[in-house]
């Protein structure tokens, strides 16, 4: 049975009518337009009437600041209770790690008595496009890998994708290696073309904890993105991968945190990440 278009034309008929080259050119342009529209949406700068914006998790359309405040009101009581159960406090500094292969995002909170970070929650990532390996260019649909940070200016409560924050790609390492791209977010709404997408329910918790930490005393929070959990065994399985040397460098930062439970200060020297 031959596939048909919505108007009943077979794919072969369309190709005959317009020519194979023209048809594939049209399809490529449509894909580029879709990518461009998604990038605009991820900017979180929707100029439309707020009443027409996508509704949030409670189906109440709100402008950005009011949306974030409503989300915090919903989730803060349960968060404070769960934090207290781990001797943690709402508004204290946070740290985020994400693993593409496992599809997990971890949120860590600094423990006051020890000064070290404690794992608060591990969230399932609802959607992440691309494959293992770093983001190289605008429109390649890849989720970045590396070490990023988020100050308050990169929070986007008015995102088309409910609530969001920009991780700051490209960083100094990415720029050194000629990588391009923009508006890479962690956001809600389960849709991803290069971003990490969470459910609206989960992004409300993540965003609220990050917003509270930044409002309290944290100047920025770090976001570390890895292809997989950087154990010795898992990295050894990737020894023949084109990104093996890059991943070995990422593992240095991963190991630093695993040993100290403190996110390292990250610099770039001679095209490599360095940690202290």
Catalytic residues: 187, 195
* Tokens 């100290």, residue located: 260
Other Cβ atoms less than 10 A from the Cβ of 274: the count is 14
Which phi-psi region, left, alpha or beta, contains residue 59 (left: φ > 0; alpha: ψ -120 to 50)? left
Give the burial class of 69: count Cβ atoms within 10 A of its Cβ; 0-12 exposed, 13-18 middle, 19 or more buried.
Answer: middle
**Is the CB of residue 206 less than 8 Å from the CB of residue 123?**
yes
Backbone φ and ψ of 112, nearest 5°: -60, -50
Whether a cis peptide bond, with omega within 30° of 0, leads into 170 is yes
Distance CA 196, CA 204 (A): 14
């Amino acid at each position: 049975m031959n596939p048909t278009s919505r108007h009943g034309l077979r794919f072969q008929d369309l190709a005959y009518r317009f020519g194979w080259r023209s048809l594939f050119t049209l399809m490529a342009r449509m894909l580029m337009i879709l990518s461009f529209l998604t990038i605009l949406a991820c900017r979180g700068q929707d100029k439309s009437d707020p009443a027409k914006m996508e509704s949030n998790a409670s189906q109440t359309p709100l402008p950005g600041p009011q949306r974030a405040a409503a989300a915090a009101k919903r989730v803060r009581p349960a968060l404070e209770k769960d934090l207290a159960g781990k001797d943690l406090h709402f508004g204290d500094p946070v740290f985020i790690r994400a693993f593409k292969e496992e599809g997990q995002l971890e949120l860590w909170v600094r423990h006051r008595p020890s000064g070290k970070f404690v794992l608060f929650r591990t969230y399932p990532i609802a959607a992440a496009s691309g494959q293992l390996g770093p983001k190289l260019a605008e429109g390649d649909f890849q989720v970045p890998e590396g070490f990023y940070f988020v100050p308050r200016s990169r929070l986007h409560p008015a995102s088309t994708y409910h609530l969001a924050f920009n991780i700051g790609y490209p960083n100094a390492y990415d720029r050194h290696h000629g990588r391009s791209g923009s508006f890479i977010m962690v956001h809600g709404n389960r849709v991803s073309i290069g971003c990490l997408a969470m459910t609206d329910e989960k992004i409300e918790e993540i965003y609220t904890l990050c917003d509270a930490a930044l409002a309290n005393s944290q100047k920025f929070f770090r976001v570390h993105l890895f292809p997989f959990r950087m154990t010795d065994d898992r990295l050894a399985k990737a020894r023949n991968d084109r990104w093996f040397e890059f991943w070995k460098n990422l593992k240095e930062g991963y190991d630093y945190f695993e040993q100290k439970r403190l996110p390292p200060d990250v610099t770039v020297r001679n095209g490599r990440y360095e940690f202290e």
